[in-house]
Structure 1
């Protein structure tokens, strides 16, 4: 890296907010206000639901939607991104709350946010492009399954067991609900919970068909709450919520606390970065006429959003694909719409926490169950499974590990599986072809073997290529081997070392090796590893195939005449 490159990386001016982020023309402002109001209405029940699902509480979900939504909108790198609590983050945070307690949430949120900011400053925003599509979709499917399973206890009127696998907890809740049917009180609770979930799910699926502008989730929650209140149904509610924003407080920091939570903070940071960048990329593709997002600035903005959320008692935030999609489809023009979305939820905190606290938990469970089904469509699943066997396997492995083990481990293992199959395909595409010598056939051509190496000469294919060339050369009593390397697209250190070993092995058997067509970008590596040093003479390196063939034929002719083969003036 040059000094200029280093200074460019230190320049953070392109990561800061600027005047061009907004368009203050009345028509644009009006579109942003309407889009922000729409997204705020859609985001309210989701913020409550994800707060409850994470174990931090509904109040933390509201605070995160306001604080993180505002900060990410101002400092992020996307015009359309809407940030706040998400299902994936709730899934990651829940076991952290169980293991370390609620007191750890503020510190782990701040630490995770700082790590995301650091990733942005280090210009790591493009790393997400290296995550294959099957891994992303498998991860999303796993998250959707976990979100759905997490809602099962509330849906059947049971308390969720603390800790344990989500699938096991869901099955246990269903079993307990079935056994509780002998008790009239518990029977009423179970039946009411199931009825509320069914009502909310039905309304969320039917209302959008009547009119796209209807905020189905909010209407469904309001109707369910009114019905439950009117009937005095014996089911759990959200409970008391604060009617003001909490005062920002710096979390207690100690070396032991940081050490205990560092791995959790890394998992949160990785998820926040991946989900936010994927959401920003989706938003850019959905925008009319296309749009450009700044990945490094997006990381800085999302990191600052989580830091601010942690200081105010919220939870880690990410870009939310569903809310961002609503924002784009509602006609948003600038990031002002995301700011308005945060202000709408802020108004709810100050004006309507009493009614919001009466919302049944089963209603929020119904919202999240429907949301989980919408996270990934059946068409997408079919497309991945029908693509290739390797991609289908990567998709399934990632999804299963997400549900059964851990989200970040799922992404890591998914990447490893995808990389393995990619290297396998690359190795299969790397091959050796025996070619005839150019021009009119000469006597003795049968003692010259011309091998064209295609694809990549790397650690996954080098041994096979080496064996094929060596075996063919020895078996056919070859005197000269021409290695045609101009078709090699990629060469790594292992492949270059294998070529050096191949030249050495053939020369030790008395077979002269000529090399033709080393590409300039490979020349330094081959010289460093020793491929060129192993040639019998420096003039055995050629740039044209005709020269290499002429040299080989001359060598065979002199060998047939029983004379020593001089070092001919092969052209470099």
Structure 2
């Protein structure tokens, strides 16, 4: 019962509110202002619409703050999720987003109850950074069709690189000129204003400036359009079994992405300031419930957003109140300023997302990974390329497989096998017929064949002493290779003695048959001197037979 209840809210979540509420409220306002253009932009870029982005930021922001495992995580629509949703909208239409959101939310909640929260720690850092780089490139390329004409992506291609290239070729020159001008204003505001003062919300100021100029100066730029001034009521979508089946794989992909991004964001936030530990399993439950809530209100899948979470922490947010208040700020904007928001040019939001995407590309980190090891550099580059070319989840899987292959190869190379030049102590006649072979390091499926090949090619000896006291990790494949070594040497008339078998390996070796493969139970010894004495007794008997 204690394990289950730890996944749900408690009074301790708000123990510090009496001391931190002022900072939390200020941080909530700041994050709400920053989140507005991002929520609008990500909603439009996904194909679900600006309203879906705002609904997700509000509903998911509150639910994830209350039920999540982090005190400072701010959730809502993110660029990575946009990349996954855009193909779903293109293939199945906007209504499919709601069903995918609900299905993915249920999967993420189940993952939390199954205690899978720490699984993200198995994703290598180069894969995560390659994944992030690829997402940044995709988000940037996704904005180009919106700058080339009021219709957006009319090329019919789902690949963002191809779509961006063809959109530029068929661009309306006049529209493109106006759109680029809007983007340049946004870039100047987002880059320049924070340098004057860190508290200035560059993205919001940029959107306001471009919107005012668009109202005052006649131009062809398309805008967001009318937004509802009231919040929608929750509804359960009609279930279509055929559509549900076709959306199962996309839903799993969305759930995996939501879990990965949220847990990474929470982990980074925990390292930014003393905001208390985070519970990865509870975070999954909270994020899953947030997506379910957003789906019921017509939103899109939600994840923890590192950009907004970082702003929250840097602005003084220390408890869940900050994330809740950020959602309240967005709700007030929707209900009080829906009409002015509708006049925001789409090009301005594209500019915000382009700057956001550019900031996801950390040149210093990329350089350090590329200079590290060839394996890590290759995993980083391949993950980024696959992310842009194919699919985010495929990219993570490919990157992990690639990193795993190199890790196994490196781990396998740590396994050593060598023959000692001479036996310890004074030499005796016949010692040249005794091979003392040392196996050290890990003996597992990645190194077993190499160790087997090196030992069985031993020639011109009558006794082989396998010294296993330095043997580290052993799996079933490694133990079975020892069985083969004993059997193949004994078949050639070579006596095998095993020395120094560790206690933790005894049970496995017994079950696999290493011990029973020995010619006699006395051929398993604990002491090297005893092993050498026993080996020399075999040599003496052999010499006696010849004589």
Q: What is the TM-score normalised by the length of structure 2?
A: 0.97
CA contact (8 A) 2:16 2:319 kept: no
Residue equivalent to 1:439: 425
- Which residue of 294, 315, 322 maps to 1:337? 322
Q: Is 1:176–2:159 an aligned residue pair?
A: no
2:86 & 2:29 partners in 1: Cα distance?
A: 30
Residue equivalent to 2:201: 215
When residues 562 and 417 of structure 1 are mapped into structure 2, their CA distance, relative to the original with a 3 A threshold, is same
CA contact (8 A) 1:157 1:362 kept: no
2:117 & 2:142 partners in 1: Cα distance?
A: 31
Deviation of residue 376 (structure 1)?
2.7
- How many pairs align? 544
Residue equivalent to 1:265: 251
The SS at the match of 1:308 is: helix
Residue equivalent to 1:21: 13
Residue equivalent to 2:238: 252
2:203 & 2:5 partners in 1: Cα distance?
A: 40
Q: Is 1:522–2:505 an aligned residue pair?
A: yes
1:318 & 1:478 partners in 2: Cα distance?
A: 65
Residue equivalent to 2:537: 554
Residue equivalent to 2:337: 352
The SS at the match of 1:515 is: strand
2:170 & 2:522 partners in 1: Cα distance?
A: 83
1:425 & 1:353 partners in 2: Cα distance?
A: 58
Residue equivalent to 1:382: 367
Q: Over residues 113-154 of structure 1, what are the superposed CA-to-partner deviations in whole Å (9 max), with x where a residue is unaligned? A: 000000000000010000011111111111000000000122
Q: Map residues 206-355 of structure 1 onto 2, 5 A cutoff.
A: 206-288=192-274, 291-355=276-340
Residue equivalent to 1:4: none
- Which residue of 507, 510, 524 maps to 1:541? 524
1:448 & 1:541 partners in 2: Cα distance?
A: 16
Residue equivalent to 1:570: none
Residue equivalent to 2:493: 510
Q: Is 1:490–2:490 an aligned residue pair?
A: no
Deviation of residue 155 (structure 1)?
2.7
Q: Is 1:131–2:129 an aligned residue pair?
A: no
The SS at the match of 1:499 is: helix
Q: Map residues 82-231 of structure 1 onto 2, 5 A cutoff.
A: 82-157=74-149, 159-161=152-154, 162-177=156-171, 180-181=172-173, 187=174, 189-231=175-217
The SS at the match of 2:153 is: coil
Deviation of residue 457 (structure 1)?
1.3
Residue equivalent to 2:72: 80
CA contact (8 A) 1:155 1:366 kept: no
CA contact (8 A) 2:29 2:325 kept: yes
Deviation of residue 413 (structure 1)?
1.0
2:527 & 2:74 partners in 1: Cα distance?
A: 58
RMSD over aligned Cα atoms: 1.5
CA contact (8 A) 1:109 1:316 kept: yes
Q: Is 1:369–2:365 an aligned residue pair?
A: no
CA contact (8 A) 1:98 1:163 kept: no
Q: Over residues 292-329 of structure 1, what are the superposed CA-to-partner deviations in whole Å (9 max), with x where a residue is unaligned? A: 11000000000000000000000000000111111111
1:79 & 1:547 partners in 2: Cα distance?
A: 62
- Which range moves more in the overlay, 159-168 or 209-218? 159-168
Q: Is 1:448–2:441 an aligned residue pair?
A: no
1:389 & 1:234 partners in 2: Cα distance?
A: 50
When residues 486 and 408 of structure 1 are mapped into structure 2, their CA distance, relative to the original with a 3 A threshold, is same
Residue equivalent to 1:47: 39
